[in-house]
Amino acid sequence: MNVKDQVIAIVAEQALLEPSDVTLESSPEDLGIDSLGLVEAIFAIEEAFDISVPFNANDPSESDFDISSVAKIIAGIEKLIAEQVS
Amino acid sequence: MKRVVITGAGTINALGFDVPATYAAMREGTCGIGPLDFQDVDRLAIKIGGQVQGYEAETYFNRQQLSLYDRFTQFTLLAARQALAQSGLEFHGELADRSGVILGNSGGGLTTQDENFRAVYEEGKNRVHPFVVPKLMNNAAASHVSMEFNLRGPTFTVSTACASSNHAMGQAYQMVRSGMAPAMITGGSEAMLCFGGVKAWEGLRVMSKKACRPFSATRNGMVQGEGAGVFVFEEYEHARARGADILAEIIGFAMSSDAADIVMPSKAGAARAISGALKDGQIAKERVSYINAHGTGTAANDKTECAAVADVFGAHADNLMISSTKSMHGHLIGGTGAVELLACLMALRDGVIAPTINYEEPDPECALDVVPNEAREAKVDVVMSNAFAFGGLNAVIALARP
């Protein structure tokens, strides 16, 4: 499974949806994921890719990690993985 | 002052997954204590306990709930669901705003702590699940009960070691009695049966490797248990107006502090709590027929407790029955008073006195009628339940047949 599919699977599980119902444009809010659910999804992503996501639940908009859509989350994770490899 | 009655009871413990199963086990003198089953149990010197066996959390809670509920919260919610169902009470409007939850526990989410300490210290992991804190906090159970049943009044947790549940129920009683709350959900829970939870107790060297034998000359220590007991305390007129089945009336409560030693019990402190509860309820001591003992099965507790009872009741001490159900379900620490209150309800409702099982030989220092090994039928009007905690904190509650 590539990064995109893995992230979609994690987000879908958190939102209690089928992966096919998770579109790249959706925001966590659109998918019905609340703040606690978001923190749990970030944890699952960190575990899955063994990375550290700079996400601050106090003020997500101030984090160095864009969570405004599934596509942005995937892009951020791909960047973190690339940084880790280099 | 308002009168306070119990209109619902629920439990899960080593003797059963609900109140009828627990009563049946107490009546039969069933021992719920057996080999412990969890990770690293082979590294423990103490390998027995009153563990809730055959429990599958997934039967009762979904994945999202389980990510937030430690075992002690799960037990509490299961017991609360039973108690609320029996009472038939639903909380809306002003009733919801004024009614709350006071629960006792000592270890909080100890299993959650244990698992996560193991992950970061032993396995060297540097990341823990985000819900570790909301899972392990001691008030998690009370908060989840308030959320599930829309209880929006005074809600908190009491932590006084082995007296936690009795202190919690005493506080709930006082709130309903004073008119502050029309109903309170109260009791307590504990889920300490994990490697760290038992290892810590082992250190004190007061644990038995074989069995819990309260009051027996052959006793050699306490045995831990786990589970929950939850009750609906309701103002009498409120309960009567809606035609609720009244299980018992709470008629007295008192607490005291030994102010003496952090672990050794004091006869004077225990006696002050027992006599305080009698005084609080203006109860003539001759009316008390049964006492559910703290009865831990340690050398220190049992003789001190018997001496305190003898001091308070004088000649009547020889007429009353006193038993320790810890011999069957183990010591639930912060949840123990709640599960033991069930033995009091069974005595009042069904006229059955739960026995002290595993009893082998009389101890002259515990020369009371401890209802050895077999349950007894007796019509009783007033019963009491003792809890004497480490730290010298004592809480005693008195109940009567409605």
In tens, the pLDDT along B174-208 reads 999 999 999 999 999 999 999 999 999 999 999 99
B358 is written with which tokens? 């595993």
Q: Residue A60: pLDDT above 80?
A: no
Q: In angstroms, how far is CA B150 from the centroid of its own chain?
A: 24
Identify whether B238 is a catalytic site residue.
no
Segment B48-70 shows an average pLDDT of 97
Asked whether the beta carbons of residue A40 and residue B131 sit closer than 8 angstroms, the reply is yes
Alpha carbon distance B334, B106 (integer Å) = 5
Give B108's pLDDT tier (boundaries 50, 70, 90).
Answer: very high
Crossing angle for the helix pair B71-87 and B140-149, to the nearest 10 degrees:
40
pLDDT score for A64: 81
Q: Residue A57: pLDDT above 90?
A: no
Segment A20-31 shows an average pLDDT of 95
Segment B135-158 shows an average pLDDT of 98
Is A36 in the B-facing interface, judged by CB distances under 8 Å?
A: yes
B383 is written with which tokens? 């019963």
Segment B23-29 shows an average pLDDT of 98
Residues B162-171: pLDDT tens digits? 999 999 999 9
B334, B190 contact by CB (below 8 A): yes
Backbone angles phi, psi at B230, to 5 degrees: -135, 140
- B-chain residue closest to A48, CA distance: B127
Q: Which residues of B touch A46 (CB under 8 A)?
A: 127
User: Domains in chain B, start-ordered, CATH in brackets?
Assistant: 4-241 (3.40.47.10), 253-400 (3.40.47.10)
Is A46 in the B-facing interface, judged by CB distances under 8 Å?
A: yes
Q: Which of B144, B167, B294, B329 is catalytic?
A: B294
Segment B322-338 shows an average pLDDT of 98
Q: Which residues of B touch A43 (CB under 8 A)?
A: 127, 129-130
Total domain count, chain A: 1
Between B313 and A1, residue with greater pLDDT = B313
Q: Residue A86: pLDDT above 80?
A: no
Is B61 in the A-facing interface, judged by CB distances under 8 Å?
A: no
Question: Which structural domain, as residue segments, surrounds residue A28?
Answer: 3-85
Q: Which of B31, B144, B162, B212 is catalytic?
A: B162
Q: Residue B4: pLDDT above 70?
A: yes
pLDDT score for A58: 82
Q: Which residues of B touch A50 (CB under 8 A)?
A: none
Segment A53-69 shows an average pLDDT of 84
- B-chain residue closest to A50, CA distance: B127
Alpha carbon distance B163, B104 (integer Å) = 8
Residues B114-124: pLDDT tens digits? 999 999 999 99
Q: Which residues of B touch A16 (CB under 8 A)?
A: 64
Alpha carbon distance B318, B230 (integer Å) = 32
Window A:49-78, CB contacts with B under 8 Å: 52
pLDDT score for A56: 85
Helices (H) and strands (E) in chain A, counts: 3, 0
Alpha carbon distance B234, A16 (integer Å) = 39
Instruction: Find the CATH number of the domain harbouring A69.
Output: 1.10.1200.10
Is A39 in the B-facing interface, judged by CB distances under 8 Å?
A: yes
Q: Residue B153: pLDDT above 80?
A: yes
**3-class secondary structure for A42-65?**
HHHHHHHHCCCCCCCCCCHHHCCC
Asked whether the beta carbons of residue B130 and residue A47 sit closer than 8 angstroms, the reply is no
Q: Which residues of B touch A40 (CB under 8 A)?
A: 67, 129-131
Closest CA to B144 of B233, B71, B225, B54: B71
**Which residues are bridge partners to B256 per DSSP?**
B394
Give A62's pLDDT tier (boundaries 50, 70, 90).
Answer: confident
Q: Which of B144, B167, B329, B331 is catalytic?
A: B331
Among B62, B127, B132, the strongest candidate for a mutation testing the A interface, having the largest count of A CBs within 10 A, is B127
Q: What is the interface pTM, i.e. ipTM, of the complex?
A: 0.84
Residues B201-231: pLDDT tens digits? 999 999 999 999 999 999 999 999 999 999 9
